[in-house]
């Protein structure tokens, strides 16, 4: 049920891997890690949600805030989403038209 985070880098692009459930309780930790990404000196990063099993509107709001920060810096925050129920949440909220979403970290890094 808890949330997990791991920072990595692929082809010079920071990758934040998230696992578990992102809800009103765990979303602040996601915000902290996204802020860490933004302050890391790059304006482009990937958030890998492959192992996320649950995300609610609070989690989506944090991701949107992160996206805004990166785009205001002239860059982007790209997502990796694999689980159908997670992708569904982005689709029904229209956020699949806002974020660039890929099905693998390799694709996201190369995009």
Angstrom distance (rounded) from CA 58 to CA 101: 19
Angle (CA) 56-57-59 rounded to 5° is 70
Residue 4 beta carbon to another protein: minimum distance, rounded to whole angstroms: 15
The answer to whether 48 and 83 have CB atoms below 8 angstroms apart is no
Q: Judged by CB under 8 A, does residue 4 bind another protein? A: no
3-state secondary structure of 106: helix
Q: Judged by CB under 8 A, does residue 22 bind another protein? A: no
What values do phi and psi take at 10, rounded to 5?
-130, 125
Where in 28-87 is the site for another protein (CB under 8 A)? Answer: 28, 31, 54, 56-58, 60-62, 64-65, 67-68, 71, 84-85
Residue 5 beta carbon to another protein: minimum distance, rounded to whole angstroms: 17
Kindly list the residues in this chain that would bind another protein in the complex (CB under 8 A).
Answer: 1, 21, 23-25, 27-28, 31, 54, 56-58, 60-62, 64-65, 67-68, 71, 84-85, 88-89, 92-95, 97-98
């Amino acid at each position: 049920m808890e949330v997990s985070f791991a920072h990595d880098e692929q082809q010079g692009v920071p990758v934040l891997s998230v696992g578990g459930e992102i809800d009103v309780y765990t979303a602040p930790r996601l915000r902290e890690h996204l802020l860490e990404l933004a302050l890391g000196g790059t304006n482009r990063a990937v958030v890998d949600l492959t192992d996320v099993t649950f995300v609610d509107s609070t989690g989506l709001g944090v991701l949107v805030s992160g996206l805004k920060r990166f785009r205001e810096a002239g860059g982007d925050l790209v997502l990796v989403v694999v689980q159908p129920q997670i992708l569904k949440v982005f689709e029904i909220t229209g956020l699949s038209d806002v974020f660039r979403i890929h099905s693998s970290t390799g694709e996201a890094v190369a995009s």
